[in-house]
């Protein structure tokens, strides 16, 4: 898929999925802007991106107030064609520990930040004149969450609901918006789940996927499709990428 001439912002680029998305889109010809909290890791990913014209911005998107400036820097007068929101995360939290603060922490980065990124990117001054494409990295948990995933599942379900409603508004700006619901994919998030759940339960969850534990590259390839002209007839959809988990 050819993304030449497309400027695309990738959040959470220091994570397993985010870095794989950055590498795939750069290899497809896109001009990449990566963002994350860890400057040294961002620089490490940045210097290994194929092609030229890429940039990086260190930012903590859980601070919603910084997003306006992040988008302005990323657009830099040229306009953004794409956004992939990989930043996010969650924890295994049973009901006994499910405080309002825990719920708010999950919603802050998984949902509130996503909405503000979309809102700022689709302003005329920040958007590519030809329109654009937005991808949110959701999760199978949005509809099939496991025990202890209440906060995480709710935040991802909120993202997917917004994708459906926002698609009806953004079509007026020639912007498509979709989300991807990965199953268990090797990443820092799954490493955290392994620590939280223990190996026995973690292995049981992975065994539900016919093709076993996924790779970040699989998510990156679907992102490239959705951002490219090949995905021009898709919007408002949440796509499972789960290795046959629910067959």
The residues annotated with a catalytic role in the active site are 152
| C-alpha–C-alpha distance, residues 71 and 92, integer Å | 31
SS3 for the chain is CCCCCCEEEEECCCCHHHHHHHHHHHHCCCEEEEEECCHHHHHHHHHCCCCCCCEEEECCCCCHHHHHHHHHHHHCCCCECEEEECCCCCCCCCHHHCCHHHHHHHHHHHHHHHHHHHHHHCCHHHECCCCEEEEEECCCHHHHCCCCCHHHHHHHHHHHHHHHHHHHHHHHHCEEEEEEEECCECCHHHHHHHHHHCHHHHHHHHHCCCCCCECHHHHHHHHHHHHCHHHCCCCCCEEEECCCCCC
In this structure, what is the dihedral angle of CA atoms 9, 105, 182, 93, given to the nearest 10 degrees? 160
């Amino acid at each position: 898929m050819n993304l030449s001439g497309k400027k695309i912002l990738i959040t959470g680029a220091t994570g397993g999925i985010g870095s794989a998305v950055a590498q795939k889109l750069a290899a497809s010809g896109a001009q990449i802007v990566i963002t994350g909290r860890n400057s040294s890791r961002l620089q490490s990913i940045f210097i290994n991106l194929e092609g030229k014209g890429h940039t990086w911005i260190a930012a903590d998107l859980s601070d919603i107030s910084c997003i306006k400036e992040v988008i302005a820097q990323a657009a830099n007068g040229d306009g953004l064609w794409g956004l992939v929101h990989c930043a996010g995360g969650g924890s295994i939290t049973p009901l006994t520990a499910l405080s309002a603060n825990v719920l708010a922490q999950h919603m802050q980065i998984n949902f509130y930040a996503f909405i503000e990124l979309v809102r700022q990117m689709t302003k005329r001054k920040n958007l590519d004149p030809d329109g654009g494409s937005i991808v949110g990295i959701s999760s199978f948990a949005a509809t099939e969450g496991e025990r202890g995933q209440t906060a995480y599942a709710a935040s991802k379900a909120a993202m997917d609901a917004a994708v459906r409603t926002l698609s009806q508004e953004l079509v007026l700006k020639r912007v498509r918006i979709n989300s991807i619901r990965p199953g268990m994919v090797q990443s820092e998030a799954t490493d955290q789940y392994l620590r939280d759940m223990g190996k026995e339960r973690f292995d049981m969850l992975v065994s539900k996927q016919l093709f076993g534990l996924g790779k970040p590259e699989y998510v990156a390839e679907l992102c490239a499709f959705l951002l490219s002209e090949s995905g021009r007839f898709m919007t408002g959809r949440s796509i499972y990428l789960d290795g046959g988990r629910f067959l």
